[in-house]
Amino acid sequence: MEPAPPRPLQLSHAQRRGMLSRHFVAVVEKLVEGGATYADLSVEAIIKAGGISRSTFYVYFNDKGDLLVAMAADVIGDLVSTGSAWWDLPADATKADLHAGLRIPIDTYREHRTILGTVVETAAYDPRVREQHQSLINQVVPALADYIARAQVAGTADPELDAERTARWLVWMIERGLYQLVGTVDDDEVSRELDALTDILWRVVYRRTAD
């Protein structure tokens, strides 16, 4: 018999903050998709749409920048975990495997594109959000570099690549591409962008030219 989930009174401050941030992801996405920008949203507008009191909001968040940091932690965590669909592939993965692996984080990005786009835009002037955004890169680059290095040892990746620097360039390229090219396009265009990204990565990383 599995233990019962903790009652609300048993939740820690961090757990409650996490629950509220996840609640606000959908709230803020709806507001921004309705035409507002996060920079122009007031705390009052956010908490009214979220259905909580002002006092409750300030128990868990210092301001709306702090809320965005908390929401970013959730969606970035989702993106990082789904990104492993690429670097968890076996060294002898096919081009079709790579295509399928890349589809997963792209779909996750599209699901959370409003929050992730807001993170990119807010990072330009809020150091807290910029640090959270940088954490995405810091988590992904070592994992991808390790994958490239392992594939080099296995003989399926270009042995002349600098694994760490190649991973760094690829991750930043993909991050910018998701924001600029994938976030607002329709399903057909996403498929074409995915095909192009697969071609690029296949030619850059892998020694093989055949599927």
Q: What is the pLDDT of residues 173-182, one digit of tens each?
A: 999 999 899 9
Confidence of residue 49 (pLDDT cuts 50, 70, 90): very high
Task: Using alpha carbons, select from 142, 145, 124 the residue that is nearest to residue 133.
Answer: 124
Residues 148, 145: Cα–Cα separation, whole Å: 5
Domain hosting 123: range is 10-205
CATH code: domain of residue 125? 1.10.357.10
pLDDT, residue 6, reads 54
* Any domain includes 156: yes
Give 128 or 194, the one with higher predicted confidence: 194
Mean pLDDT of 79-107: 91
Classify residue 131: in a domain, yes or no: yes
Q: Which two tokens stand for residue 183?
A: 């976030």
Whether 56 is in a domain gets the answer yes
Of 44-53, 122-131, 147-156, 190-199, minimum mean pLDDT range: 122-131
Q: Which residue has the tokens 């820690």?
A: 12
Distance from C-alpha of 165 to C-alpha of 137, rounded to nearest angstrom = 13
Does residue 74 fall inside a structural domain? yes
Confidence of residue 106 (pLDDT cuts 50, 70, 90): very high
Q: Distance of CA 185 to CAs 36, 179, 181, Å?
A: 19, 11, 7
Q: Distance between CA 67 and CA 49 in Å, rounded?
A: 14
Global pTM reads 0.81
For 21-48, the pLDDT digits (tens) are 999 999 999 999 888 889 899 999 999 9
What confidence score (pLDDT) does residue 104 get? 94
What span, in angstroms and rounded, lies between the C-alpha atoms of 175 and 133?
10
Asked if residue 5 belongs to a domain, the reply is no
* Domains held by the chain: number: 1
* pLDDT at site 7: 57
Quickly list H helices, the chain: 13-33, 43-50, 54-60, 64-87, 95-111, 113-122, 127-154, 163-177, 187-205
Buried b vs exposed e over 65-74: b needs ≥16 C-beta within 10 Å?
bbbbbbbbbb
